[in-house]
Amino acid sequence: MQDVDGEIAGAVIVVTDVRELTKTHRKLKETQAQLVQAGKMIAIGQLAGAVAHEINNPLAAILLSADCLAEDLKYANPPREFSSWPTFVNRIRLGVERCQRVTLSLLDFAHQSPSTSDRLDLCQVVERTLALGVAPPLIRDCVVSPDPPD
């Protein structure tokens, strides 16, 4: 401050306590970091769910094929060189079941249900199954038709 002659007559000192502002800024940065981490976890969960679903479909086909092969081997009289096949089929089943447990864990992580109930057109399901060329071994000497009887 100056007096009427322009001489310095005093001073004004302004002191601002920035501790509260600094504390709030630090909390904001922590919250932002948590939000970024939560976004990453959501993305990982979605990816895990998608991967699990993509893996489960081929696993189901492999398991069905192994079951059909095991059933065929029960009734077959294979040559000696095929005597170890039941052991191999069992190893396939155990491997698939292990993979399925992993995919279920991924689905749990992703918070997605491993299975859902939907209405299906049974005729389409039969057609698609027949297109795979896999028929259950117990359905022998019969005709499987996707068209329902009238």
Question: What confidence tens digit (pLDDT) does each residue in 51-98 have?
Answer: 888 898 899 889 988 888 888 888 877 777 778 888 899 999 999 999
Two tokens, residue 3: 């007096």
- Work out the widest C-alpha separation in the chain, in whole angstroms: 122
pTM: 0.49
Predicted confidence (pLDDT) per residue in 30-45, tens digit: 999 999 988 888 888 8
Predicted confidence (pLDDT) per residue in 103-132, tens digit: 888 888 776 555 565 677 777 776 776 666
pLDDT at 5 over 70: yes
